[in-house]
Amino acid sequence: MDSIIVRGGAELNGSIPIAGAKNACLTLMPATLLTDAPLTLTNAPRLSDIATMANLLRSLGAEVSTLQDGQVLALSSHDLTSHHADYEIVRKMRASILVLGPLLARLGQAEVSLPGGCAIGARPVDLHLKALEALGAELDLRDGYVHARAPQGGLRGGTVTFPLVSVGATENVLMAATLARGTTVIENAAREPEIVDLARCLSRMGARIDGAGTETITVEGVDRLEGATHRVVTDRIELGTYMLAPAICGGEVECLGGRIDLVEAFCEKLDAAGIDVTETETGLKVARRNGRIQAVNVETAPFPGFPTDLQAQMMALLCTAEGTSVLEERIFENRFMHAPELMRMGAKIDVHGGTARVTGVERLRGAPVMATDLRASVSLILAGLAAEGETVVSRVYHLDRGYERVEDKLGACGARIERVQGR
Ligand code: UD1
């Protein structure tokens, strides 16, 4: 198992290219199941989660080839051979549940393993299932699997009203509705940029979708979808993560491909903390204003609110702020596992339920720490960049699920960071 060693204290200067969004790509890939024509995705990130989704699709009979060093994915579901998504693959990644809607819509049946528990809370899939039931699906939970069948004549349009906003459930039902008979209305839909990106790709494939990016999405079902070529939207979480690097270390970094509209709520908090963000022709330039970072309060919320996937990284910044910041995690319970690790580096953090109070210290100190999930692991790297001495982040396989070549991207801007194998 690899570890990452960071020696803190270096200013960062330069530019960092931001990849295509993991979470967009993980929902665009299953869209191949909706059509027998080829789907090509460009600007794909090179991550282990993408390889896991490719393997899941292959297990269903889809062809998935990677071109241009993994940045282009050529997908074809011309000859699907199975509707069974096995536990052995699904357990590795929750996003596997996103094959359920497409399989059901195209083949009229699906058997998908229930994703197991997850380190950041219970994360059920009940909303996915209820939404598909509203389209007429008959579901049966047996032996750890969802056994799903479309009614005679296929799925039919319906009204889905989500009691709470779910990104994954919105994606699943949106894909299923493209091939359902009649009109589907999705109310209280997620508005994340990844949903908008999915809707764009589906529309290119011939789907009739209105309202993506708003609370109400309307889909007119069509008989079949065509092939398409689609560029994956920029990863707003990778963007926000690298924007925090110069914020924490000082210096000036341009995040290439960055756009304010992807990270607006996050930028407001950076501004309040004393960080300047400027739009350039090629991305976003980030630099810290003179003086110490100021404490800010943060509450996570569905888009356009502050993303839960940037909460851990923001906490790393606030550990050295002047004053006390209050972070409220409203999306997932148990998503402060990075707090005890940051405390090993000298951070002052009090966690009570979904609230963390972070009192800034002048300086963090390097320490051996352990990554417990994807975003937690990168927050420890960010903290290490600001800390005095050496930080060793172990169990970085979490990191590789969501960040491509983190050590190269930060290293190119002057960070002292290296990967060591087998530690
Ligand atoms: C997606 C992202 C994840 C991000 C999250 C919130 C992917 C692959 N993952 O996850 O990185 O952190 O959005 O922006 O895109 N819930 C239920 N029942 C359900 C589904 C969700 O109760 O059937 C709850 C969850 O426990 C959570 C909330 O709804 O409290 C939001 O979850 P959701 O938006 O569905 O997250 P994911 O789609 O799993």
pLDDT tens digits, 411-422: 999 999 999 987
User: Mean pLDDT score of the chain, rounded to an integer?
Assistant: 96
Distance 353 CA to ligand 1 centre (A): 19
Distance 274 CA to ligand 1 centre (A): 31
Q: Which residue, judged by its Cα, is nearest atom 29 of ligand 1?
A: 166
Q: What is the pLDDT, as a whole number, of residue 398?
A: 86
Distance 167 CA to ligand 1 centre (A): 6
The answer to whether the beta carbons of residues 378 and 406 sit under 8 Å apart is yes
Nearest atom, ligand 1, residue 237 CA: 11
Distance 168 CA to ligand 1 centre (A): 6
**Where does ligand 1 bind, in terms of residues with CB under 6 Å?**
23, 26, 94-95, 121, 123-128, 164, 166-169, 308-309, 331-332
- pLDDT per residue as tens digits for the range 60-103: 999 999 999 999 999 999 999 999 999 999 999 999 999 999 99
Of these residues, 118, 249, 255, 319, which one is catalytic? 118
Per-residue pLDDT at 256 exceeds 90: yes
| Geometric angle at alpha carbon 19, from 15 and 23, rounded to 5° | 145
Q: Which of 267, 184, 263, 180 is nearest to 218 (CA)?
A: 184
Nearest atom, ligand 1, residue 125 CA: 23
Q: Which residue, judged by its Cα, is nearest atom 1 of ligand 1?
A: 167
The answer to whether the beta carbons of residues 377 and 398 sit under 8 Å apart is yes
Distance CA 205, CA 195 (A): 15
pTM of the predicted structure, to 2 decimals: 0.97
Amino acid residing at 81: T
Rg (alpha carbons) of the chain, rounded to whole number = 22
Q: Which residue, judged by its Cα, is nearest atom 26 of ligand 1?
A: 123
The answer to whether the beta carbons of residues 316 and 364 sit under 8 Å apart is no
Nearest atom, ligand 1, residue 192 CA: 14
Q: Which residue, judged by its Cα, is nearest atom 9 of ligand 1?
A: 23
Report residue 333's pLDDT band, with 50, 70 and 90 as the boundaries: confident
Nearest atom, ligand 1, residue 333 CA: 30
The answer to whether the beta carbons of residues 258 and 287 sit under 8 Å apart is no
Distance CA 25, CA 45 (A): 8
Per-residue pLDDT at 211 exceeds 80: yes
Of 97, 166, 309, 331, best ligand 1 pocket probe by most atoms within 8 Å of the beta carbon: 166
Reply yes or no on whether 413 is catalytic: no
Q: Which residue, judged by its Cα, is nearest atom 12 of ligand 1?
A: 309
Per-residue pLDDT at 174 exceeds 80: yes
Q: What is the pLDDT, as a whole number, of residue 334?
A: 84
- pLDDT per residue as tens digits for the range 102-158: 999 999 999 999 986 556 666 789 999 999 999 999 999 999 999 999 999 999 999
Distance 169 CA to ligand 1 centre (A): 8
Per-residue pLDDT at 159 exceeds 80: yes
Distance 124 CA to ligand 1 centre (A): 9
275: β partners: 288
Q: At what angle do helices 100-107 and 126-133 cross, to 10 degrees?
A: 20
Q: What is the pLDDT, as a whole number, of residue 25?
A: 98
Q: What is the pLDDT, as a whole number, of residue 300?
A: 98
